[in-house]
Amino acid sequence: MLDTVFREDIDRLVPQATGTRTRRAKLAAVGCYLPEKVRSSVEIESMVAEASDGYVPAQGIVEAMTGIRSRRVASDDQQCSDLAAHAARNALRSADVSIGDVDLLIFASAGQDLMEPATSVITASKLGLRCPAFDVKNACNSFLNGIDVADALIASGRYETALVVTGEIPSRCIKWRVTDREDFRLCFAGYTFGDAAGAVLLTACEEGRGFMHGEFQTEPQHWDIGTLAGGGSMHPRGDEHTYFRGDGARLGDAFAGLGTTVLDRALATMETDLEAWDVVLVHQVTVPMHLAFLRATGIRSQKTVQLVDELGNCASASMALQLHRAVQTGRAEAGARVLWVGLAGGISVGVMGLQL
């Protein structure tokens, strides 16, 4: 009898324990911010040639290899928190929500202002927030992981209104001075980077709308394929560790080896298929890699929002920018279903569904 009463209490207080979910986070607004400065791929090649001792990249190689024509670059006086705060204000303005209504802030980004303190508290200071704030960090999946955490906390009843923000300035970890072709190859990923920020305002709602099941997987044996080594315990000092280095071919092979298992598992759990989604947001690194991913998964290009050609690889801000564009162009209206597919170094894959 006591066990029965206890079980009934658990089912009442924690509905997730029975497999149902009566409360979740819905999207109240999305905001983004793009720095004004535009840098072309032609300029990238010129900057490498000017900084290097005798090494000159083949003319047109960056755009030919990546499909990226341009990207945005933050000004020298802007920090990751500045970009994130701009995007947050735009999201709040779009929803007509006061800053005082926010009771949780998550800064979810590959970039950061400092090693200490958390960039979330710097962002909170710039926004005038005094609510709980913390960072979530997982390379280009940081923003998706941040949403997953916020969704869980809202579902638990701990918070009602959460801001998940990202501010990325990867342009500051590009190595311009290269010694030879191999050095250029290992630094090439940096020439795809673009600076940007995104934010989503999440509020509590009952089942029927909001974020759905999330599926995440990590293959940590590939962690060393792409690294930004400086500032941690491995390399606390040394300018040579402040540049991103990665092997694009190995990274592509690692994701190809993982295949579509995470996406397939997420769709099966949500009892749906790719055709049921109105918009599919996919992290975009280069145009060729984006198109290869679509071919491998069977996702129709018409369902995606390709921005990498004009904005470059914006790290964790990539899908926030795509969502904002989809909303602005009327592709993601009330009632639409949005599938998020995150890909990140480390490597990790994440899939979430959103009912608007």
Q: Domain end: 178, 206, 234, which one?
A: 206
Coil/strand/helix, residue 348: strand
CATH of the domain at 146: 3.40.47.10
Instruction: Say yes or no: 187 and 66 in one domain.
Output: yes
Q: Residue type for 63, please? A: E
DSSP structure string for 87-105: HHHHHHHHHT--GGG--EE
Is the CB of residue 238 less than 8 Å from the CB of residue 230? Answer: yes
Q: Residue type for 2, please? A: L
Instruction: Say yes or no: 149 and 215 in one domain.
Output: no
Q: How many domains does one find in the chain?
A: 2
Q: Which residue has the tokens 């006086």?
A: 77
Coil/strand/helix, residue 281: strand
Q: How far apart (Å, rounded) are the C-alpha atoms in residues 15 and 71?
A: 45
Q: How far apart (Å, rounded) are the C-alpha atoms in residues 99 and 28?
A: 14
The Cα angle at residue 307 between residues 305 and 310, in degrees rounded to 5? 155
Q: How far apart (Å, rounded) are the C-alpha atoms in residues 100 and 78?
A: 25
Kindly report the number of other CB atoms within 10 A of residue 177's CB atom. 14
Phi, psi of 327 (to 5 degrees): -70, -45
Q: How far is CA 265 from the centre of its chain?
A: 21
What confidence score (pLDDT) does residue 150 get? 97
Q: What is the pLDDT of residues 277-286, one digit of tens each?
A: 999 999 999 9
Instruction: Say yes or no: 164 and 250 in one domain.
Output: no
Q: How far apart (Å, rounded) are the C-alpha atoms in residues 15 and 271?
A: 20
Instruction: Say yes or no: 41 and 186 in one domain.
Output: yes
DSSP-derived letter for residue 58 is P
Q: What is the pLDDT of residues 116-163, one digit of tens each?
A: 999 999 999 999 999 999 999 999 999 999 999 999 999 999 999 999
Instruction: Say yes or no: 178 and 230 in one domain.
Output: no
Kind of pairing, strands 245-246 and 37-40?
Answer: unpaired
**H helical segments located in the chain:** 2-13, 41-51, 61-66, 80-95, 119-127, 142-156, 181-187, 248-258, 261-269, 287-297, 308-311, 318-328
Instruction: Say yes or no: 253 and 198 in one domain.
Output: no
| Domain span holding position 70 | 10-206
Is the CB of residue 123 less than 8 Å from the CB of residue 105? Answer: yes
**Assigned token pair, 233:** 């315990």
**11 pLDDT more than 80:** no
Q: Domain end: 175, 206, 237, which one?
A: 206
Q: What is the pLDDT of residues 247-301, one digit of tens each?
A: 878 888 888 888 899 999 999 999 999 999 999 999 999 999 999 999 999 999 9
pTM: predicted TM-score of the whole model, two decimal places: 0.91
Residues, the chain, total?
356
Q: What is the pLDDT of residues 226-241, one digit of tens each?
A: 888 888 888 888 888 8
Is the CB of residue 353 less than 8 Å from the CB of residue 340? Answer: yes
Average pLDDT across the chain, whole number: 91
Q: How far apart (Å, rounded) are the C-alpha atoms in residues 13 and 20?
A: 12
DSSP-derived letter for residue 235 is B
Going by pLDDT thresholds of 50, 70 and 90, the confidence category of residue 1 is very low
Q: How far apart (Å, rounded) are the C-alpha atoms in residues 23 and 152?
A: 9
Coil/strand/helix, residue 128: coil
Handedness of CA 203, 208, 210, 215 (dihedral sign): positive
**311 pLDDT more than 80:** yes
Is the CB of residue 166 less than 8 Å from the CB of residue 108? Answer: yes
Share of the chain above pLDDT 70, in %: 94
Instruction: Say yes or no: 217 and 122 in one domain.
Output: no
On whether residue 79 sits in a domain, the answer given is yes
Give the residue from 114, 39, 48, 59 showing the smallest Cα distance to 81. Answer: 114
Q: Domain end: 184, 206, 228, which one?
A: 206
Q: What is the pLDDT of residues 197-250, one digit of tens each?
A: 999 999 999 777 899 878 999 888 878 888 888 888 888 888 888 888 888 788
Instruction: Say yes or no: 102 and 154 in one domain.
Output: yes
